[in-house]
Amino acid sequence: MNQVFFIIGVSGSGKSTVGKLLSKQMNIPFFDGDDFHPEENIKKMSNGIPLADDDRHGWLLTLNELAKKQLENRSCVIVCSALKQKYRELLSAGFEKNTKWIHLSGSFEKVFERMNNREGHFMSSDLLKSQIDTLEEPEHAITIDIQLTPEEIVKKIKNEMLDKSEFGLLGLGVMGKSLCRNLANNGFKISMYNRHVEGLEENVALDFKNEYQELSSVLQFDKLEDFVNSIQKPRKIMLMVNAGKTVDIVIDDLLSHLYEGDILIDGGNSNYINTKERFNNLKKKNIHFIGTGVSGGEEGALKGPSIMPSGDLEAYKKVQPFLETIAAKDENNLPCCTYVGPEGSGHFVKMVHNGIEYAEMQLLAEVFSILSATGKNPGEIADVLETWKNEADSYLLNITINILQKKEDNDWLINKILDKAENKGTGNWAAKTSAELGIPSTLIASSLFARYLSFYKEERLKISNLLDNETDYNLNLTSEELLKAYQFARIINHYQGFNLMSEASKAYSWNLNLSEIARIWTNGCIIRSDLMTELVTVLKESENLISFSKITEIIKKIRPSANKVVSQCVLNNIPAPCLSEAVNFLNGLSTTNSSANLIQAQRDYFGAHHYQRLDDETGQYYHTKW
């Protein structure tokens, strides 16, 4: 990847000498910023009038253009004092991730001495003082002391910036590997690491590097210390290891090799509570911790996943160029990656993503059951679903069609797959979290329990036999009605998912931007869909999907079909827990006077728990001697 090396610092810090030497050794062009001043500026300077920020503006844009032009074909060195952050922002605008800042720094005395030792040069101490006062320490730069000789300085620059990687990735499982290739394909210089386990995991990183052309300049390791030392400071290291204890073990192992200011990114499906704890523990050691959801599976990770980072905003900014570059792009070509919020919020949001995903998958499974009960075979069902794309397109709908069309020998493959649905924890956490926070995420719970129930296969066979279950279905349903019921349940599912995030955002003061979260879910992730794209706009207006007028109108139109489908399933003994729960949920959510008053009365009756009254708005509690 081509890069611009900006050598910056106060006058007299030796920028030109170092810049020229670096350009020579790297065989790339050298430019002195001062040579590009417009005539007015030269005139002012020669008359001893200091340049104002306005004077500099055009000049900085010229240098920015120069750099851009160079980047098209090669790297280059540009020397320019660039004392203020806003100058540096102008200089690098549009190619931030291809920019390297090298700041030559020294004490007043040292610079003053150097300056006035140079033949034909004289600098007033006032001017130097004013420059030092103006200097805003650059954050993203490598800072080098000018006590060193120019040769030593150049050696250090090359060592830090050229030989070292910009980004490290630890853990080369399915997702880790895909992310490495994605980073390398985007021109980042990376180091990658996989542990060495005798007989089980040997030379994983090396073998992987040799497998793919795009990894040829990647540095690979199976020794942790070497891996960490191969990365520029502050280190940016992404962990792609199994959630749980492994993350803690890896962090512990890493700690002795890290420096203050280094940044760890956990890209696994960690529990957000653990992420909060790790964030706080590492903060005490001045190590930044970015908990990041990554969705898209193997293919998404390779071609562009949806990324949900959280943690300190300042630390995030340092990894932002990497994450945004490798992320999927939305319909406006913006990255499907956004700063979600503080500490564990990124993993929380990913957990909810997966909860929504569980329900979306279960709804398709129920649709499949119902269409099967109407006598259709998988191929015919795929044909029906194909017609749904106009109104309900989504990644999951598409892969479902592909799955149902897949044949093996003369039968559909789906008919040969064992009907026990497994899970890996995030759906479970989502259900538990909503129970914990007091939020009714009934579709997530329903889908989770449907998976659990599928595991009772023996019991199912036994009980089906005992109950003489009918298999002669008498279903009075059109495909159009089923589509409406499916869409209805999906709206409820998305309502519940965003509601869970909204409530958690309040509970944890995360200040989540729901529309922005919907936006980064419009591509790259498993639950991308036309509905999600619509929600980006909806959620800008209202955190409550259902009361958004356009959606309210849709619900009114499709609700009767949802009711009909569910009642038909119930009368025919066809399990449709998630569709049923969607209908029941909206019925509950639109009940003005619910029978919860009876529950309060019962609690007061046997447990003296007291109750509130409709006719006392103060919220006072009452007890009755029943």
Active site members: 350, 357
Q: Which range binds a second copy by CB under 8 A, 39-47, 208-216, 271-279, 449-457?
A: 449-457
Q: Is position 546 an interface residue for a second copy (rule: CB under 8 A)? A: yes
Exactly one of 143, 159, 286, 469 binds a second copy (CB under 8 A); that residue is 469
Exactly one of 416, 474, 509, 618 binds a second copy (CB under 8 A); that residue is 416
Query: Read out DSSP for 477-492?
Result: --HHHHHHHHHHHHHH
Q: Is position 368 an interface residue for a second copy (rule: CB under 8 A)? A: yes
Exactly one of 46, 117, 614, 618 binds a second copy (CB under 8 A); that residue is 614
Size of the site for a second copy (CB under 8 A): 118
Helix orientation angle between 479-508 and 549-571, rounded to the nearest 10 degrees: 120
452 contact partners, CB below 8 Å, separation of at least 6: none
Q: Is position 460 an interface residue for a second copy (rule: CB under 8 A)? A: yes
- Stretch 230-259 residues interacting with a second copy (CB under 8 A): none
Q: Is position 81 an interface residue for a second copy (rule: CB under 8 A)? A: no
Q: Is position 589 an interface residue for a second copy (rule: CB under 8 A)? A: yes
Q: Which range binds a second copy by CB under 8 A, 40-48, 243-251, 400-408, 528-536?
A: 400-408
Exactly one of 453, 515, 516, 554 binds a second copy (CB under 8 A); that residue is 453
Q: Is position 477 an interface residue for a second copy (rule: CB under 8 A)? A: no
Pairing of strands 190-193, 219-221: parallel
Exactly one of 153, 219, 319, 448 binds a second copy (CB under 8 A); that residue is 448
Exactly one of 119, 468, 472, 509 binds a second copy (CB under 8 A); that residue is 468
Residue identified by tokens 């150097």 is 114
Q: Is position 581 an interface residue for a second copy (rule: CB under 8 A)? A: yes
Q: Which is nearer to a second copy, 38 or 560 (CB)?
A: 560
Task: Kindly list the distances between the CA atom of residue 270 and the CA atoms of 114, 239, 308, 345, in Å, as whole numbers in the listed order.
Answer: 54, 11, 12, 11
Q: Which range binds a second copy by CB under 8 A, 38-46, 61-69, 139-147, 366-374?
A: 366-374
Q: Which range binds a second copy by CB under 8 A, 90-98, 211-219, 303-311, 402-410?
A: 402-410
Q: Is position 451 an interface residue for a second copy (rule: CB under 8 A)? A: yes
Q: Which is nearer to a second copy, 200 or 467 (CB)?
A: 467
Q: Which range binds a second copy by CB under 8 A, 94-102, 149-157, 248-256, 609-617?
A: 609-617
Q: Is position 3 an interface residue for a second copy (rule: CB under 8 A)? A: no
Residue identified by tokens 């639109």 is 590
- Stretch 418-447 residues interacting with a second copy (CB under 8 A): 418-422, 424, 428, 431-432, 435-436, 438-442, 445-446
- Choose among 167, 180, 169, 346: nearest CA to 250: 169
- Stretch 181-240 residues interacting with a second copy (CB under 8 A): none
- Stretch 280-339 residues interacting with a second copy (CB under 8 A): 297-299
- Stretch 377-396 residues interacting with a second copy (CB under 8 A): 395-396
Q: Is position 574 an interface residue for a second copy (rule: CB under 8 A)? A: yes
Q: Which is nearer to a second copy, 158 or 432 (CB)?
A: 432
Q: Which is nearer to a second copy, 377 or 563 (CB)?
A: 563
414 phi, psi to nearest 5 deg: -55, -30
CB of 427 to a second copy, least distance (A): 9
Exactly one of 24, 406, 407, 506 binds a second copy (CB under 8 A); that residue is 406
Both tokens of 165, joined, read 């990687």
Task: Kindly list the distances between the CA atom of residue 336 and the CA atoms of 87, 265, 320, 395, 475, in Å, as whole numbers in the listed order.
Answer: 29, 17, 12, 16, 42
CB of 134 to a second copy, least distance (A): 53
CB of 210 to a second copy, least distance (A): 22
Q: Is position 369 an interface residue for a second copy (rule: CB under 8 A)? A: yes
Q: If phi over 0 gives left and psi between -120 and 50 gives alpha, with beta otherwise, what is residue 308? A: beta
| DSSP label at residue 546 | G
Q: Is position 573 an interface residue for a second copy (rule: CB under 8 A)? A: yes
3-state class (DSSP) for residue 353? helix
Q: What count of Cα atoms within 13 Å lies in the side-chain half-sphere of residue 169?
A: 29
| DSSP label at residue 162 | I
Q: Which is nearer to a second copy, 24 or 407 (CB)?
A: 407
Task: Please check whether residue 206 is in contact with residue 242, taking contact to mean a CB–CB distance below 8 angstroms.
Answer: no
Q: Is position 526 an interface residue for a second copy (rule: CB under 8 A)? A: yes
Q: What count of Cα atoms within 13 Å lies in the side-chain half-sphere of residue 463?
A: 6
Q: Which range binds a second copy by CB under 8 A, 102-110, 113-121, 277-285, 581-589?
A: 581-589
Q: What count of Cα atoms within 13 Å lies in the side-chain half-sphere of residue 171?
A: 21
Q: Is position 593 an interface residue for a second copy (rule: CB under 8 A)? A: yes
Q: Which range binds a second copy by CB under 8 A, 46-54, 113-121, 160-168, 409-417?
A: 409-417
**H helix runs in 456-595, sequence order:** 457-466, 479-508, 514-520, 530-541, 549-571, 577-589
181 phi, psi to nearest 5 deg: -65, -40
> How far, in whole angstroms, is CA 367 from its chain's centroid?
31
- Choose among 228, 288, 230, 284: nearest CA to 253: 228
Task: Please check whether residue 584 is in contact with residue 559, taking contact to mean a CB–CB distance below 8 angstroms.
Answer: no
Determine the Cα–Cα distance for residues 566 and 310; give it in Å rounded to an integer: 40
Give yes or no for a cis peptide into 234 (omega within 30° of 0): yes
Q: What count of Cα atoms within 13 Å lies in the side-chain half-sphere of residue 217?
A: 14
Q: If residue 192 lies in a helix (H) or strand (E), which one and from where to where?
A: strand 190-193
Q: Which is nearer to a second copy, 108 or 456 (CB)?
A: 456
Q: Is position 507 an interface residue for a second copy (rule: CB under 8 A)? A: no
Q: Which range binds a second copy by CB under 8 A, 116-124, 191-199, 530-538, 588-596?
A: 588-596
Q: Is position 130 an interface residue for a second copy (rule: CB under 8 A)? A: no
Q: Which is nearer to a second copy, 70 or 434 (CB)?
A: 434
Amino acid in position 599: I
Q: Which is nearer to a second copy, 47 or 620 (CB)?
A: 620
Exactly one of 1, 174, 249, 313 binds a second copy (CB under 8 A); that residue is 174
Q: Which is nearer to a second copy, 52 or 467 (CB)?
A: 467
Determine the Cα–Cα distance for residues 433 and 560; give it in Å rounded to an integer: 32
- Choose among 155, 165, 340, 339: nearest CA to 237: 165
**H helix runs in 136-263, sequence order:** 150-157, 174-185, 204-211, 224-229, 245-255
Q: Which is nearer to a second copy, 286 or 464 (CB)?
A: 464
